[in-house]
Amino acid sequence: MASPLRLALIAHDEKKDDMVAFTCAHAPFLAGCDLVATGTTGQRVVEACPNLEVRRLKSGPLGGDQQIGALIAEGAVDVLIFFVDPLTPMPHDVDVKALMRLAIVYDIPLALNHATAEMMLKRLGQP
């Protein structure tokens, strides 16, 4: 039996509603995945989709982005969905850039917006 897809979820504050809508729309598929998320994103997803199991790490500014980066470096993440808000300054911008760098270095699929995340799930067989 194949291992479940290991998927990391992150959303900036202004994109958390989009992440919640995305995960709820794809909950049947995501229920079969091993989900990990930064703290607040994970909390919002679990509140909206209580049947999804989400391992919640620290919030992004408190080290959650770095924790997910470490999981990428360890080979424990297959896909990163990171809904980025390009219009709001981030005090932890260097952490965000480091995380994206790791996704590129370790060649894992990285979706930075809803449209790309939808395309990735279609490619993975989710209608």
Domain containing residue 75: 6-123
- What's the structural domain count of the chain? 1
The backbone region for 11, taken as left when phi is positive above 0, alpha when psi lies in -120 to 50, beta otherwise, is beta
| pLDDT for residue 39 | 95
Instruction: Read off the pLDDT of residues 60-86 as tens digits, 9 standing for 90 and up.
Output: 888 999 999 999 999 999 999 999 988
| pLDDT for residue 1 | 57
Is 55 a domain residue? yes
| pLDDT for residue 127 | 60
Is 1 a domain residue? no
Of the candidates 17, 34, 65, 107, the residue annotated as catalytic is 65
Instruction: Read off the pLDDT of residues 46-57 as tens digits, 9 standing for 90 and up.
Output: 999 999 999 999
Task: Mark whether 95 is an active-site residue.
Answer: no
Token pair belonging to 70: 């470490």
Token pair belonging to 18: 């989009």
Instruction: Read off the pLDDT of residues 80-103 as tens digits, 9 standing for 90 and up.
Output: 999 998 888 776 678 788 999 999
Looking up residue 58, the CATH number of its domain turns out to be 3.40.50.1380
Whole-model pTM above 0.85?
yes
